[in-house]
């Protein structure tokens, strides 16, 4: 038994040693993280995780390589707050060449301890937009602009940068390239590569816990931050196309469940997808009109199935789906827009399915019933009824029905089949 215990202890020690990342004690470590794309809660989570790792594992600096067209104001504010309250020096590097720090990205550059751009990159266009699409107006416009001006002014002053230009980025949507930004003290450095950035950072020095550290590129170990599972899930959920598909899948699942009660799987899956889709749409800059049009499209389909209009409601449903998909996200945020090739195939497939459904309904309505074996002994469920006639469902088929005298009966109630006459059923309560 003692031998087994010794082997277990040795195994645990070996695993522990193996799990400790190899570090060079003679080198300082710098953590780098890429923030690429629109600013959303996913990027906020990414920054928080990177800062936690850098702080816990004694990195001397965090370098954020930034390329963003802008994004959500609330996420931007939270990221600025994280940067301003970090004990670790943070460098924001707009890279590679051709990248941009637009809108919300301007605030991230302003909040950095060291602001750097690559050649052929741009910064600017931080004018606020209303969530409903377009420029905010009157009182709300003044509140939003003044709030953002106060934030950018305080941050730029704290970092010793050109306050006037940062204000003009909000008030006039001003833009600069890297060379102009350096001349106007909007940024601190221009770096063409990571090695170039390290050389300039080493000469300037990095202040860590009150101590100034100078270094050569050979003294630095660069570690690339690996995003965690939470970021990957958020990034996936907050993709506009994923949000759109989840919402449609959720509505379709509930539609099948209500059409065939007791199926369970479509209802459970649909409810799960719908909740995730609604969460994504609540975070992204969605247009209420687009959501309502998509819901209206499903309502039209349900009505077409239960009250056949021989294609009229099908056309209305397809029109609702098309314009709902087109207007789902505000056009003022081009980086959140749905490509036409995302929803056009879906609408095409839906069109084919609805045409097939209309054909089957029409066939059941107008094809002569040559055999009534056993149908007289069955009951039918009323779809709609007025006076002495209406429509009923029996054996999955929709029939015209009549009664010998007017009767009041609600949809969903069962009636007894007396006889069949052509394509009409004679029923009684």
Q: What is the DSSP letter of 39?
A: B
Is beta strand 122-124 parallel, antiparallel or unpaired with respect to 175-177?
antiparallel
Q: Give the pairing of strands 90-94 and 28-36.
A: unpaired
pLDDT the model gives residue 22: 43
Rg (CA), the chain: 32
Write a three-state SS string for 288-317: HHHHHHHHHHHHHHHHHHHCCCCCHHHHHH
Please list the pLDDT of the chain residue by residue as tens digits (429 residues).
455 444 445 554 444 444 434 445 557 899 999 999 999 999 999 999 999 999 999 899 999 999 999 988 899 999 999 999 999 999 999 999 999 999 999 999 999 999 999 999 999 988 776 433 344 456 667 788 889 999 999 999 999 999 999 999 999 989 999 999 999 999 999 999 999 999 999 999 998 888 888 998 888 999 999 998 889 898 899 999 999 999 998 988 887 877 777 778 888 898 999 999 999 998 888 888 999 999 998 888 888 777 766 668 878 888 999 999 988 987 767 778 888 888 888 888 877 876 776 666 566 555 554 445 456 557 888 888 888 888 888 877 788 888 888 888 888 888 888 888 777 888 888
Q: Is-cis flag, bond preceding 96, omega within 30?
A: yes
Q: What's the pLDDT score for residue 367? A: 54
> Which H/E stretch holds residue 93?
strand 90-94
CB 41 within 8 A of CB 283: yes
pLDDT of amino acid 3: 52
Q: pTM of this prediction? A: 0.72
Q: Are 164 and 215 in contact (CB under 8 A)?
A: no
Q: Cβ distance 132 to 332 under 8 Å?
A: no
Residue 288 half-sphere exposure toward CB, CA atoms < 13 A: 2
Identify the DSSP state of 123: E
Alpha-carbon distance 51 to 84, whole Å?
Answer: 12
pLDDT at 389: 87
Q: Over the stretch 282-336, which tens digit does the pLDDT of each residue have? A: 888 888 899 999 999 888 888 877 776 666 887 888 899 999 998 898 776 777 8
pLDDT tens-digit map of 344-383: 888 888 778 767 766 665 665 555 544 454 565 578 888 8
What's residue 89's pLDDT?
Answer: 94
Cα torsion at 149, 155, 157, 163 (round to 10°)?
-40
The DSSP secondary structure of 279-290, one letter per residue, reads: HHHHHTTB-HHH
pLDDT given for residue 65 in this prediction: 97
In angstroms, the CA 225 to CA 45 distance is: 13
CB-CB contact of 174 with 130 (8 Å): no
Query: Contact at 8 Å (CB) between 346 and 248?
Result: yes
The H or E element that residue 421 is part of is: strand 414-421
Sequence-distant (≥ 6) Cβ neighbours of residue 424 within 8 angstroms: 399, 400, 401, 402
With 0-12 / 13-18 / 19 or more C-beta atoms within 10 angstroms meaning exposed / middle / buried, residue 395 is exposed
- Tell me the C-alpha distance between 13 and 37, whole Å: 42
Number of neighbouring beta carbons within 10 Å of residue 87: 9
Phi, psi values for residue 318, rounded to 5°: -65, -40
């Amino acid at each position: 038994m003692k031998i087994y215990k010794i082997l277990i202890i040795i195994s645990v020690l070996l695993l522990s040693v193996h799990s400790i990342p190899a570090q060079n004690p003679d080198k300082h470590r710098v953590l780098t993280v890429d923030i690429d794309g629109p600013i959303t809660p996913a990027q906020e989570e990414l920054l928080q995780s990177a800062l936690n790792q850098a702080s816990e594992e004694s990195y001397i600096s965090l370098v954020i390589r930034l390329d963003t067209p802008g994004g959500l104001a609330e996420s931007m504010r939270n990221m600025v707050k994280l940067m301003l309250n970090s004990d670790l020096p943070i460098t924001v590097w707009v890279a590679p060449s051709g990248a941009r720090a637009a809108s919300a990205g301007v605030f991230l550059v302003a909040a950095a301890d060291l602001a750097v751009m690559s050649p052929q990159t741009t910064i600017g266009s931080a004018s606020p937009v209303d969530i409903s699409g377009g420029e905010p107006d009157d009182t709300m416009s003044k509140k939003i602009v003044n709030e953002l001006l106060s934030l950018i002014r305080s941050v730029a002053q704290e970092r010793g940068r050109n306050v006037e230009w940062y204000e003009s980025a909000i008030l006039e949507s001003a833009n600069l390239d890297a060379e102009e930004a350096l001349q106007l003290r909007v940024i601190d450095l221009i770096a063409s590569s990571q090695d170039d950035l390290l050389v300039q950072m080493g000469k300037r020095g990095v202040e860590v816990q009150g101590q100034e550290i100078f270094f050569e590129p050979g003294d630095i170990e660069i570690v690339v931050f690996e995003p965690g599972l939470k970021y990957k899930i958020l990034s996936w959920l907050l993709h506009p196309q994923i949000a759109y598909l989840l919402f449609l899948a959720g509505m379709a699942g509930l539609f099948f469940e209500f059409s065939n009660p007791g199926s369970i799987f479509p209802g459970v899956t649909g409810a799960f997808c719908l909740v995730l889709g609604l969460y994504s749409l609540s975070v992204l800059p969605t247009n209420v009109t687009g959501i309502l049009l998509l819901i209206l499209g499903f309502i039209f389909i349900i009505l077409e199935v239960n009250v056949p209009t021989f294609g009229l409601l099908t056309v209305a449903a397809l029109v609702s789906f098309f314009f709902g998909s087109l207007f789902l996200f505000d056009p003022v945020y081009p980086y959140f827009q749905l490509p036409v090739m995302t929803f056009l195939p879906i609408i095409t497939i839906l069109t084919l399915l609805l045409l097939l459904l209309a054909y089957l309904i029409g066939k059941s309505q107008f094809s002569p019933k040559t055999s009534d074996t056993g149908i007289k002994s069955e009951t039918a469920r009323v779809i709609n009824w007025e006076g002495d006639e209406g429509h009923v469902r029996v054996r999955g088929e929709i029939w015209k029905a009549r009664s010998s005298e007017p009767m009041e009966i609600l949809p969903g109630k069962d009636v007894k089949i007396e006889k069949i006459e052509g394509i009409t059923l004679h029923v009684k309560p």
